[in-house]
Amino acid sequence: MTTHREVERLVTAVDLARDAALLAEVVELRARNEQLGRALVTRAVIDQARGMVMALAPCSSERAWDLLVGVSQHCNIKLRDVAAALVATTDDETLPVEIRRELSRALRRLHAADRG
C-alpha cells in the first residue's frame, strides 16, 4: 500500500522532472534565438559584400555568391569574415592582403570566363 508521503514524493519527483525538462527547453530556445540573431546580422553583411562584388564585376547575385565562397575557401577564412572585411573597406578599412589577393584573382577569373 502506498502511503501519502510516498505519493507526495512521487508528485514532487514528477514536478522536478517537468521543471528540468522545461528549463532545458528554455535554455535550448535561448541558444537558438541567439544563433538566429547572429545569423541575421551575418547574412546582412554577406548580402552587402555580395552587392559590392556585383557592382565591381558586374555579375549576377549567384556569381557574386560563388566568388565570395571561393575567396573564403582559398583563404581558409569564414565567409562571414571575408564579407565583413570587404564591407569594412567602405569605412576606409584596409582589406587584408590575403583576401585582396584572392579577390583580385577571382575577379580576373570571372572576367576571363565572361570573355571566353
pLDDT, one tens digit per residue, over 11-38 is 788 878 787 777 788 778 888 888 888 8
Provide the domain limits for residue 73: 4-115
pLDDT at 106: 95
List, for residues 62-108, the tens digit of each pLDDT value.
999 999 999 999 999 999 999 999 999 999 999 999 999 999 999 99
Buried b (16+ CB within 10 A) or exposed e, 46-77: beebbebbbeebebeeebbbebbebbbebbeb
* Best CA proximity match to 31, nearest among 23, 21, 43: 23
Whole-model pTM: value is 0.71
